[in-house]
Amino acid sequence: MGSYVTQQWTPRATDGVPRRFTRSGSYQAFVPDSLLDHDLPLDPGVTMLLDEAESRAREAADLAAHAGLGQIGDLLVRSEAAASSLIEGYEPTPRAVAVADFVARGRESAVTVARTLHAVRESVERALDPDVSLVWDVVELQRLIAPRHAGVRTEPVWIGGRTPLEAHYNAPPHELVPGLLDDLDAYVASRRHRPVLAAALAHAQLETIHPFADGNGRAGRVLIGTVLARYGVAPQITLPVSTALFRDRERYYAALDTYRRGDQGVAIVTVVAEAVVAAAADALALSGQVTDWQSRQTDTLDAYLRDRSPTGRVRRGVAHRVVADLPTHPVLDAASVAARYEITTVAARNALDSLAGAGVLRTDRKADRTRTVYVATELLELVAEPGTPEAEGVEVAVAPVAPGPETACGAWLPRAGRACRLPRGHRGQHR
């Protein structure tokens, strides 16, 4: 399923470079065949897997109108962007990425993932526009992901090794890339194959073409989501497929490598279909976790306000509205809250301070020297691994029996943004 073309390599610079990297020579670059004529033989097991993947994805998408799942749409986008970047080796915390996204600055790794977050957000809306070319739209989205290397490459690229002479894989010559992208776009538009099958093959084909100098993996995984949306399988939400791919990344890498060597694509189709099944389950599980989290935070806020009320009564106000909207806006400041709810900046700051005092939000004064930023840290931790039990990702059990409110230590932990839950009189320092 492809052919090799002979290319010549001559290094541009040789001064100060080890001799083994300065030699010239010829190498073989792989050029994939068109998917428009591709017939993939599928055994009954793979066909059943594709049926399940599409069914589960549609089930998750159908529930997008439900308040629980519809509200976590942005969290799913964050999960997909974070996991797709994690596959490439970028490992900032979800909190760091969310803050960098909000204040438009931060450490390089966090800003890099925030760029991928912007691209995934853009893809969700643009995929539903029938006039948008999905493949060439990915080219535009790659400019958000890797602005320093934006656009279709104009030079050779390879995987592994310092030169193409010792590379593990050499992508097609750059002069062939525009035509290969046009062909891939025609395949996606043709709807020749069923949704998950088409998404997997389109992704593998884009990775094989390797059209960019940087950002190929992240841009290619965006294409999975846009194909599923365009084909009507998951039009309302972004399934965190990259999270599932990251869990089994060695098998994912192997499947792509097999496809690049001319395999028909059964391996990568199987891996992507299994990832779609897992992503749909993750989305549904995350919906329940977020609902539970909001309920607990509302109770915590009520208790905090009740303790400070002369009458012992709680008046539902802006702070409660903020809790309801945190899945969509997990990072806030006084100005954004004032504008969103049409209140004064003072009232917005009072609401945020109440949420911080109750431990629902944590303050971050280092993110921007001109303002105090408030972050729903515990909520964002769910993005790190959507669908896993909260106790595994956020809180570690420290005692056989959890102490009740009357026996817990209760000391305030500024870094954690909550009261100490260890038994009263425990040993060790608060951190």
The rounded percent of the chain whose pLDDT value lies above 70 is 85
Q: What is the average per-residue pLDDT within 142-161?
A: 92
Q: Catalytic residue among 210, 320, 329, 430, which?
A: 210
Task: Give the Cα separation of 339 and 321 in Å (integer).
Answer: 13
Q: Residue 217 annotated as binding?
A: yes
Read off the pLDDT of residues 98-138 as tens digits, 9 standing for 90 and up.
899 998 888 888 899 999 998 998 898 888 888 899 999 99
Q: Residue 428 annotated as binding?
A: no
In contact, 377 and 362? CB cutoff 8 Å: yes
Cα 85 to the center of its chain, rounded Å: 7
For residue 412, pLDDT over 90 is answered with no
Q: Residue 359 annotated as binding?
A: no
How confident is residue 62, by pLDDT bands cut at 50, 70 and 90? confident
Mean pLDDT of the chain: 85
> Around Cβ 255, how many Cβ atoms within 10 Å?
23
How confident is residue 368, by pLDDT bands cut at 50, 70 and 90? confident
Task: Give the Cα separation of 46 and 41 in Å (integer).
Answer: 10
Q: Which among 68-77, 197-206, 245-254 has the top mean pLDDT? A: 197-206
The pLDDT of residue 245 is 93
Task: Give the Cα separation of 291 and 343 in Å (integer).
Answer: 26
The pLDDT of residue 6 is 95
Task: Give the Cα separation of 431 and 421 in Å (integer).
Answer: 13
Residue 175 DSSP symbol = G
The pLDDT of residue 69 is 57
Q: Residue 219 annotated as binding?
A: yes
Read off the pLDDT of residues 372-381 as tens digits, 9 standing for 90 and up.
999 999 999 8
> Is 210 marked active-site?
yes
Predicted TM-score (pTM) of the model is 0.83
CA 113, 115, 116, 118 torsion-angle sign? positive
Element (H, E) at 374: strand 373-375
Q: Residue 262 annotated as binding?
A: no
For tokens 């909260």, name the residue. Answer: 390
How confident is residue 418, by pLDDT bands cut at 50, 70 and 90? low
In contact, 356 and 417? CB cutoff 8 Å: yes
Q: Residue 221 annotated as binding?
A: yes
Q: Residue 214 annotated as binding?
A: yes
280 CB-side CA count, 13 A: 23
Domains present along the chain, CATH in parentheses: 2-285 (1.10.3290.10), 287-395 (1.10.10.10), 397-431 (no CATH)
Q: Residue 252 annotated as binding?
A: yes
The pLDDT of residue 398 is 28
The pLDDT of residue 413 is 52
For residue 405, pLDDT over 90 is answered with no
Read off the pLDDT of residues 226-245 as tens digits, 9 standing for 90 and up.
999 999 998 878 899 999 99
Nearest 10 degrees: Cα torsion 80, 81, 83, 85:
160
Task: Give the Cα separation of 47 and 229 in Å (integer).
Answer: 20
For residue 207, pLDDT over 70 is answered with yes
C-alpha distance across the termini of the chain, in Å:
58
| Residue 316 burial class via C-beta count within 10 angstroms: exposed 0-12, middle 13-18, buried 19 and up | exposed
Q: What is the average per-residue pLDDT within 203-207?
A: 96
How confident is residue 61, by pLDDT bands cut at 50, 70 and 90? confident
The CA-atom distances, in angstroms, between 424 and each of 92, 404, 410 are: 34, 10, 8
